[in-house]
Amino acid sequence: MSVITELDQVADELRDADKLLLTTHENPDGDALGSLLGMHLLLSQLEKDPAMFLAADEFPLPHEYRYLPLDGVMNEPPNDLEERLVVFLDCGNIDRMPVAFLRTDGIRIVNVDHHHDNTRFGEVNLVDPSASCTAELVWRLAHELGVAITEPMAEALYVGLVTDTGRFMYRNTGSDAHRMAAELIEAGASPQKVNRQVFESLPFCRLKLLARALARVHRLDAGAITATHLTREDFVDTGSDEHDSEGIVDHLRSVEGTVVAVLVRELLAEERAGLRKVSLRSVDDTVDVSRIARGLGGGGHLQAAGFTTVLPLPELLERLRVEVGEQL
Ligand code: 5GP
Ligand code: MN
């Protein structure tokens, strides 16, 4: 099935629906939230009733995204759920939204995403791994549906674009990403504003948490793996929450000789004590980190993936050494 057909199909679904429920994945990032809000604004222009849902425990949202106008997001299932078309954005796998009501029999799901390992869990799927971000798919849908890109929509979609492309530096940054950026800027998105809000308004605790992580960096296999870890104490002592470790792994990737960068952090929630969240980044296509993550119960992109594990740190690092070694 070609991508064009999927785009048409999803556009038809959106055109035909009156009431919708939009959602994304847990621990939403810039693309998740930008796509969610962008789609909400798109559907509002079509005079639909597009509710947005995020679980209550996602709040407060990561500091850098709190400025986004997401006040209307609901944290409870809507009473009229069965009347709503459910639209997942940026979610590769329905297990990444661990909310029971979204698995209710009989609900119709549209799945809009760019993860190459998307499980196609929707009744209708628009899954295009060549898209730089899910926001790009929302942008294409706006064109398909003849919806003008308004300034708020442009701002929201720009956040998804700029975060998922690593500020236009990752391999998913194609000419389409730049064309989209140009169009969003013409529609009123301000790169400088987004940069200030998303990348340069970080709470001071992040710098302290980064310092902890950098102080503990070590390299394995002649530097092919550059790794570090953060403990619960690191988070508590620096006054950080889980979102505050975002971006740390990219510092590790930037070091000469690194093939795979690894950040391991202990999860903070009481019920998740003993679990570790692992972030993997590879520098090029030599190693597909999503394959490693999938083998350990997670997933992601070729160069950015993650999983949650009960493995203790030494065993975990040993496992990663073996997995990376097999792909080298
Ligand atoms: P991060 O390391 O920033 O948490 O995640 C990087 C990417 O890996 C995410 O954009 C997402 O695609 C993927 N990812 C992270 N954790 C998981 C997980 O537990 N399951 C799946 N399927 N994907 C994950
Ligand atoms: Mn994305």
Ligand at minimal distance from the CA of 282 is: 1
- Ligand 1 centroid–CA 46 distance in Å is 32
pLDDT at 192: 98
Residue nearest to atom 2 of ligand 1 (CA): 279
* Test site for ligand 1: of 29, 127, 230, most ligand atoms within 8 A of the Cβ: 29
Atom number of ligand 1 nearest to Cα 115: 12
pLDDT at 283: 96
Q: Is the peptide bond before 60 cis (omega within 30 degrees of 0)?
A: yes
* Test site for ligand 1: of 90, 96, 111, 230, most ligand atoms within 8 A of the Cβ: 96
* Test site for ligand 1: of 90, 165, 301, most ligand atoms within 8 A of the Cβ: 301
Instruction: Tell me the pLDDT tens digit for each residue of 1-22.
Output: 555 689 999 999 999 999 999 9
Distance of CA 28 to the CA centre of its chain: 6
Q: Where are the beta strands (DSSP E) in the chain?
A: 19-23, 49-52, 85-89, 108-113, 124-127, 218-220, 225-230, 260-266, 276-282, 299-300, 304-309
Count of alpha carbons within 13 Å of 84, Cβ hemisphere only?
A: 22
Residue 95 burial class via C-beta count within 10 angstroms: exposed 0-12, middle 13-18, buried 19 and up: middle
pLDDT at 178: 98
pLDDT at 88: 98
pLDDT at 2: 52
Look at residues 263, 232, 260, 267 and name the one whose alpha carbon lies nearest to residue 248: 263
The two tokens of residue 234 are 């690191």
> How far is Cα 225 from Cα 227, in angstroms, rounded to an integer?
6
Could you count the other beta carbons within 10 Å of the beta carbon of residue 295? 12
- Ligand 1 centroid–CA 118 distance in Å is 12
Residue with tokens 């950080």: 240
**Share in percent of the chain as helix, strand, coil (round to 5):** 45, 15, 35
* Test site for ligand 1: of 288, 307, 309, most ligand atoms within 8 A of the Cβ: 307
Dihedral sign, CA of 118, 121, 127, 132?
Answer: negative
**What residue type is assigned to position 237 of the chain?**
D
DSSP 266-289: E--SGGGTT-EEEEEEESSTTS-H
Instruction: Tell me the pLDDT tens digit for each residue of 130-180.
Output: 999 999 999 999 999 999 999 999 999 999 999 999 999 999 999 999 999
> How far is Cα 26 from Cα 158, in angstroms, rounded to an integer?
21
**What residue type is assigned to position 146 of the chain?**
G
Instruction: Tell me the pLDDT tens digit for each residue of 232-241.
Output: 999 999 999 9
- Ligand 1 centroid–CA 145 distance in Å is 30
Supply the DSSP symbol for 59.
P
Residue nearest to atom 14 of ligand 1 (CA): 306
Domains, in order of start, for the chain? 6-199 (3.90.1640.10), 204-327 (3.10.310.30)
Look at residues 86, 99, 101 and name the one whose alpha carbon lies nearest to residue 58: 99
List residues near ligand 1 (CB under 6 A): 92-93, 96, 115, 279, 298-301, 304-308
Ligand at minimal distance from the CA of 113 is: 2
> How far is Cα 90 from Cα 200, in angstroms, rounded to an integer?
24
Atom number of ligand 1 nearest to Cα 29: 10
Ligand at minimal distance from the CA of 31 is: 2
pLDDT at 1: 52
> How far is Cα 28 from Cα 36, in angstroms, rounded to an integer?
10
The two tokens of residue 126 are 């628009």
* Residues that place a CB less than 5 A from ion ligand 2: 31, 90, 133-134, 164
The two tokens of residue 295 are 């083998």
Spans in the chain with pLDDT lower than 70: 1-4
